[in-house]
Amino acid sequence: MSDSYDEQGSYSKLTRNQKETIGILSIGTFLEYFDFMLYIHMAYILNGIFFPTADPHTARINEAIGIAMAVIFRPIGSLIFGYVGDNIGRKATVVITTGMMAVSCFVMASLPTYSDIGIMSTYALSACRILQGMSSMGEVIGAEIYITESTKPPVRYSAVTIVDLFAALGGFAALGIASLVLSNKMSWRYAFLIGGCIAFVGFIARTRLRESTDFINAKKRVTGKVPEKIKIGLFKRINIWQDNLNYKTLLHLLLLEFALPVTFNFSYIYCAQVLRDKFGLSQEEIIRQNFFVSIIEAFSWVVLVVLSYKFFPLKILKVKLVLFVILVFISPFILDAATSPIHILLLQFAMVGLLFSSAGAYPIFYKHLPIFKRFTAITFIFSFSRAVIFGGLPMLFIFVDNLGSWGPTWCVMFPVAIGFAYSVKYFEHINNIDPKLPDGGFWGTNVDTNEENQDQYNSVDFINSNP
């Protein structure tokens, strides 16, 4: 085993530096998603403060607009932070985005209301939401790519999933703080003030990060920090600046990325509307119920972290797909037959407990993208999927109300499941066609098509040993 390999971690353990890096990134992701999710769970209340007074139907549309504001500008943010991540470094993006989230929270905590300054408060709130949406996009993807490029499988799969776990814990904490603030009749401003403070702590912590291993090695190959004859020889074999994106791969990655925001919208936003309309629950009661839902979600992420180390991630996705299809099929029957909020709670438990998403397998997908185009490509796919789902799905749920419970379940979630199945099959295929791949062993299939090839080409040891 080479020194370079040891520096990037073995197949079964992480180095001390890697553990520290994962800890810093995970805590930062927790803090940032706490801030981002805080508004989503308090949107119904805040829109009554920052938007003109409206009837219930218009208020629901305003709520959807408020949530959409955080995501529809994400594709623009993906291009900005994608450029930073691919040209300056992965570290720069995670530091900048955390700082943006802290600033937006402090501003929201001090904003005058609609009754004080009129429509200007609406514009200011929208600007903060846009800033939060753009920064949260670069945040979690930046952390995932950083860890993907700094570790080896199978520990890589669990390490990246830990970042997603802490994002879920951020949502859990946001619900807890929102519930605490509302139940104690405290000002909503305290929640955002707390969010701004903890985001600032994350900003300070992330300045200690080093750049990712793969990115440093790749930059050395193009900045003249290796002997010229070595660099020329390498460029003849693989010119990383001219690596092209496979748009078929990007399409399948997009279809996979639709899964998580769809299930989130159904579990937390659509079910909240059912609880409000059918059972007359107050926003405080809905937030309290969603808090219990988030506990189950957080536990499910812990389970996924363990499973991602024990089993090949694509196999996990296939099992979740089958269970999701069954759950979607019976969901409208449960919604129609529900006579108590407990019935809706059990459905929410099942949906978030399943964690229908491509999480756990992200490193497999990311390694199929060229290293100097990886950040831009992934952040754009991520942001576009969220813009479509978070921006359009709440509105779609409103306009398919006449279809009853069948509209948001069968008409929306079944097509997402079909696209997910098609894309899992695609990645299974491309992860088995390269004969140079190592045997998957107990994984049951080969791992990461260019896993060893790419890591070898990015390695400084490889550069020094191939004049």
- Mean pLDDT to the nearest integer, 256-271: 90
The fraction of the chain above a pLDDT of 90, given in percent, is 23
- Mean pLDDT to the nearest integer, 174-197: 78
- Mean pLDDT to the nearest integer, 349-355: 94
Residue 69, pLDDT score: 66
Q: What Rg, from alpha-carbon coordinates, does the chain have? A: 23
Name the residue with tokens 């807890």: 176
pLDDT over threshold 60, residue 459: no
Q: CA 373 to CA 107: how far, in whole Å?
A: 34
* CA atoms 267, 296, 277, 406: torsion sign: positive
Q: End-to-end alpha-carbon separation of the chain, Å? A: 21
pLDDT over threshold 80, residue 258: yes
> Which range has the worst mean pLDDT, 140-144, 229-233, 256-260?
229-233
Q: pTM above 0.75? A: no
pLDDT over threshold 70, residue 105: yes
DSSP summary character for residue 449: T
pLDDT over threshold 90, residue 300: yes
pLDDT tens per residue, range 163-172: 889 988 988 8
pLDDT tens per residue, range 41-51: 777 677 778 87
DSSP letters, 238-294, are --GGGPPP-HHHHHHHHHHHTHHHHHHIIIIIIHHHHHHHHH---HHHHHHHHHHHH
Contact of 174 with 37, CB cutoff 8 Å: yes
Amino acid identity of 300? S
Residue 372, pLDDT score: 81
pLDDT over threshold 60, residue 445: no
Q: How many alpha carbons lie under 13 Å from residue 209 in its C-beta half-sphere?
A: 31
Residue 68, pLDDT score: 65
- Mean pLDDT to the nearest integer, 319-326: 96
Q: Going by C-beta distance under 8 Å and a sequence separation of 6 or more, which residues neighbour residue 235? A: none
pLDDT over threshold 60, residue 443: no
Give the pair of three-digit tokens for residue 151: 């570790």
Name the residue with tokens 């776990």: 165
* Closest-CA residue to 163 (of 217, 101, 206, 106): 206
> Which range has the worst mean pLDDT, 16-20, 123-127, 158-162, 329-333?
16-20
Q: CA 392 to CA 396: how far, in whole Å?
A: 6
Domain boundaries, the chain: 3-464
Residue 186's pLDDT band, with cuts at 50, 70 and 90, is low
Q: CA 365 to CA 251: how far, in whole Å?
A: 12
Angle at 27 between CA 22 and CA 33, to 5 degrees: 120
Residue 427, pLDDT score: 92
Residue 57, pLDDT score: 61
- Mean pLDDT to the nearest integer, 419-438: 76
Q: How many CB atoms lie within 10 A of CB 208?
A: 11
Residue 32, pLDDT score: 67
Proportion of the chain in helix, strand, coil states, percent, rounded to 5 = 80, 0, 20
Residue 440, pLDDT score: 39
Residue 337, pLDDT score: 93
Residue 134, pLDDT score: 75
Contact of 279 with 341, CB cutoff 8 Å: yes
* Closest-CA residue to 458 (of 144, 213, 223): 213
CATH code for the domain defined by 3-464: 1.20.1250.20
Residue 212, pLDDT score: 62
pLDDT tens per residue, range 64-87: 666 666 667 777 777 787 788 777
- Mean pLDDT to the nearest integer, 316-321: 95
Q: How many CB atoms lie within 10 A of CB 46?
A: 23
Average pLDDT, the chain: 77
Contact of 97 with 32, CB cutoff 8 Å: yes
pLDDT tens per residue, range 385-407: 887 887 677 666 666 666 677 77
